[in-house]
Amino acid sequence: QVQLEESGGGLVQAGGSLRLSCAVSRGTFITYAVAWFRQPGGKEREFVGGIGWSGQSTYYADPLKGRFTISQDNAKNTMYLEMNSLKPEDTAVYYCAARRGGAVPAEKSKYDYWGQGTQVTVSS
């Protein structure tokens, strides 16, 4: 069973940057697509973006394009989320998720495995 562990969350001022990591164990990027979701307090979990299992295609939620960048290191079995120009509305618990197959759907129900999440707080 795939296990996911996020790290890198914390408190940052508006306009700052943060990089989150998602370590994938008992699975590889060859057979799993991985994605980032986030859940602001009291709101639904929403799609941030992801990488298809080949690592050749990345996908982003439209509002986040240009500020967020997703990458992966196959040798380390780790996915990253680089967040720049952070805003207070980016405050959320950030989760990584994985699913078999190459597609990266935005629906959280399509993912089979989830990490425990890491809190990101952006102060104004």
In the chain, the percentage of residues whose pLDDT exceeds 90 is 77
For residues 65 and 60, what is the distance between their CA atoms, to the nearest angstrom?
Answer: 6
DSSP 8-state secondary structure symbol assigned to residue 65: B
In the chain, the percentage of residues whose pLDDT exceeds 70 is 94
Total residue length of the chain: 124
For residues 74 and 67, what is the distance between their CA atoms, to the nearest angstrom?
Answer: 23
pLDDT of residue 29: 57
Mean pLDDT of the chain: 92
Local structure of 87: helix, strand or coil: coil
DSSP 8-state secondary structure symbol assigned to residue 56: S
Residue pLDDT, tens place only, 6-65: 999 999 999 999 999 999 887 665 678 899 999 999 999 999 999 987 677 899 999 999
Closest to 28 in 3D by CA, of 71, 74, 81, 72: 74
